[in-house]
């Protein structure tokens, strides 16, 4: 005779509140992990594509940065760039400054019209260095020009090259122009 197997009672589904909790936990976990991965990826990308945080000496300037200076027609034939610094976070064209054997150039890519300020040494009557030796902030060099305008730009204090940039400008100014010693020292 045929016997029916003993039937097991159907398993009861977990309460809806527990199921919702696990779904919320999975969604929140995915968002947190995804956000962290995106942040790490963005940091790696910016670190790989951004200029270094130091002032470059003439023999250290990467070829692609020199090409930007040439493309923007900021360096004349026979001119030598002595110091170069970019405060841009991504593309070097967004912001940089350099000191050559003839002039100081400050480029701000966010200015649509006339993004580059070119200052021949003959136009500089005074130079000031506001040092900031913290790793977070840059030092500021301010040039006072013959026409009364001033031009300020940032340079990194890493390797004390802000001081070297300042000294290069001060030594290149016309004789008789006042170039005081570096003014402020912040720690």
C-alpha span between 20 and 50 (Å, rounded):
44
**Residue 100 near residue 82 (C-beta atoms within 8 A):** yes
Q: What is the pLDDT of residue 53?
A: 79
Burial grade of 70 (CB within 10 A; 0-12, 13-18, 19 or more): exposed
116-120 and 124-132: which strand pairing?
unpaired
Please name the residue that has the structure tokens 């649509």. 112
Q: What is the pTM of this model?
A: 0.71
What's the mean per-residue pLDDT of the chain?
85
**Residue 137 near residue 94 (C-beta atoms within 8 A):** no
Domains, the chain, ranges and CATH?
56-186 (2.30.29.30)
Q: How far is CA 187 from CA 127, 131, 140, 184, in A?
A: 21, 8, 14, 10
> Tens of pLDDT along 99-143?
999 999 999 988 888 899 999 999 999 999 999 988 888 999 999
pLDDT over 70 (residue 20): yes
pLDDT over 80 (residue 152): yes
C-alpha span between 132 and 158 (Å, rounded):
10
**Residue 126 near residue 139 (C-beta atoms within 8 A):** no
Alpha helices (H) in the chain, listed in sequence order: 16-49, 63-71, 161-172
Q: What is the pLDDT of residue 186?
A: 43
């Amino acid at each position: 005779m045929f016997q029916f197997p003993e039937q097991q009672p159907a398993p009861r589904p977990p309460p809806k509140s527990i199921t919702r909790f696990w779904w919320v936990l999975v969604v929140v976990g995915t968002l947190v992990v995804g956000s962290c991965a995106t942040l790490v990826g963005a940091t790696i990308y910016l670190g790989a594509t951004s200029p270094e945080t130091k002032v470059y000496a003439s023999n250290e300037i990467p070829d692609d940065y020199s090409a930007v200076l040439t493309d923007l027609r900021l360096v004349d034939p026979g001119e030598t760039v002595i110091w170069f610094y970019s405060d841009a976070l991504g593309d070097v064209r967004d912001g940089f400054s350099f000191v050559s054997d003839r002039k100081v150039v400050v480029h701000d890519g966010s200015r649509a019209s006339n993004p580059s300020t070119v200052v021949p040494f003959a136009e500089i009557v005074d130079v000031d260095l506001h040092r900031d030796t913290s790793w977070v902030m840059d030092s500021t060099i301010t040039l006072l020009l013959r026409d009364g305008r001033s031009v300020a730009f940032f340079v990194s204090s890493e390797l004390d090259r802000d001081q070297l940039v300042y000294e290069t400008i001060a030594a290149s100014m016309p004789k008789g122009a006042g170039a005081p010693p570096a003014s402020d020292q912040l720690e």
